[in-house]
Amino acid sequence: MAIEQQGAQARTNAPNGATNNAFTLGAPVSKYASLGDLASVLAPDVRKDMVKTFGNQGISGLLELMGATKAVGTNDEVTYYEETRLHPIQAVTLAAEVATGKTQVFPANSVAHDSNYSSEDIVKVRVNDLVIHPVDKVVCIVTEVTPSTGAFTIANFADSALSAIPAGAKELPIVGNMYAQGSDQPGRFIESGVVKRTNPFAIVKESYQVSGSNATNIGYIDIGGGDYRWYIKGEMDARQRFLDARELTMLLGRKMVNASGPSGISGTEGYFYAVGARGITTAAVDELDTVGELDTLIALLDKQGAGPEYAAMLNSSLFATFNNMPAAAGSVGNSVTSGVAANFGAFNNSADTAINLGFQSFARGGYTFHLKKMGLLNNPNLLNNAAGQGIVQGCLIPLANVVDPTTGNSAPALEMNYKAAGGYNREMEHWVTGGGVLGFTNDTSDIAKFHYRSECCLITRAANQHVLIK
């Protein structure tokens, strides 16, 4: 009878939602625990530390790490100038074969056309210039030039016929000149060239909000620093997403040339597209996964007059490949602690600084490569997604400054620009609005709204010295 009364009491005091049939007379305590029906009357054992399942998911900071920060910009776009090669080369596009002979005529309109320039500007060769024959690889002399049409004639120094030149695109390097005694100075001069480049600013935004009620809720999880207000976690995540979105826009952005695109958005040229258009891509060296291909790349860097130090921002696979190269190549060891024959000028000549920033370095062919994993290249929701894997596996960023040909000022190879004027800076705008929530009383809502905004663009100087590994 006592047992029946005990059972009846248990049934009477069953938690809401529990069925009386779930309580069996004489059942062991473990039976009750396994049902979960007593959970609502037990103190929860909640572990306060939040597990970062995917590690540190932020990918921002690359551009700042590369020293690419400069708060300037007082127009809707940034204009900058880059010098051209000191020594011009004559490019031609032949519609038909140029016949063999001691002299050869490159006909009118054979000079590679550029709609931005007149024919007279495009024709680089002058009478008495020395050029290299594109087939025979011998030096010839220019005997006649008609700048207005693009026609010019070359002659062999030897008393023999030059080989026919097939149709298609050709280049004739200009390697010097020769003049007769008593002759006049050149009738045309070579203007040192500069290329004008522009890049519009992009406006990047993010937002987050929390109601007054949720702002006063206390959770079980310590989000950091002993703070258990969960909305703060949401706000911090929104801020990180904003920073990542800004950096991704600077890396992957494109200029808008689609007339059907959205009104008011001019786009901006991101780093990957700038280097893809004007820099070195790894098509010539496959995937840059062997020492031989690394040496081929080094030869390409030499052609571009590159500086001695590069930051190699890589995905995990290429990072491992590069780490294995020093031993295979017989180059300076992978450990930066020795610093033998390696350059650390980008890190104030300190190998320890490079290590502290997470770089691993090695030297080969007169270059020092500072290796680091790039978070966005490994993130399966970003560029390690099936849709993004073909864009880029890594990039090599020169760490030496370049000289602006119009001012003579030294400037970084990468330069982040923000709109700023009169003390107002749009690098990182963050403000809160709300109707009393968290003390912000600038509207009548019961919601605190967190706002983030930046107006920025990236300048990629000397893109010809940058490398994309695809």
Q: What is the pLDDT of residues 96-151, one digit of tens each?
A: 999 999 999 999 877 765 444 444 567 888 999 999 999 999 999 999 998 888 89
> According to the model, what pLDDT value does residue 240 have?
84
Q: Mention every residue, 6+ apart, whose C-beta is less than 8 A from residue 30.
A: none
> According to the model, what pLDDT value does residue 167 have?
93
> Chain-wide mean pLDDT for the chain?
75
CATH of 87-191, one of 1.10.3470, 2.40.33, 3.10.310, 1.10.357: 2.40.33
Arithmetic mean of pLDDT, 23-47: 43
> According to the model, what pLDDT value does residue 415 have?
85
Q: Helix (H, G, I), strand (E, B), or coil: what is residue 271? A: helix
Between CA 468 and CA 128 the distance in angstroms is 40
At which residue do the structure tokens 């969960």 appear?
230
Is the model's pTM score more than 0.85? no
Strand partners, 430: 452
Q: What's the pLDDT tens digit per position in 234-254? A: 788 888 888 888 888 888 899
Q: Mention every residue, 6+ apart, whose C-beta is less than 8 A from residue 399.
A: 66, 307, 309, 310, 311, 345, 346, 370, 413
Alpha-helical (H) ranges within 123-278 are: 212-215, 230-252, 271-278
Between CA 138 and CA 104 the distance in angstroms is 13
The whole-angstrom distance between residue 1's C-alpha and the CA centroid of its chain comes to 80
Nearest one of 150, 128, 148 to 140, comparing CA atoms:
128
Arithmetic mean of pLDDT, 272-284: 86
Q: Helix (H, G, I), strand (E, B), or coil: what is residue 427? A: coil
Q: Helix (H, G, I), strand (E, B), or coil: what is residue 238? A: helix
- Domains of the chain, residue spans: 2-41, 87-191
Confidence of residue 363 (pLDDT cuts 50, 70, 90): confident
> According to the model, what pLDDT value does residue 230 have?
58
Least confident of 340-354, 413-427, 441-455: 340-354
- Statement: residue 371 has pLDDT above 70: yes
> According to the model, what pLDDT value does residue 159 have?
95
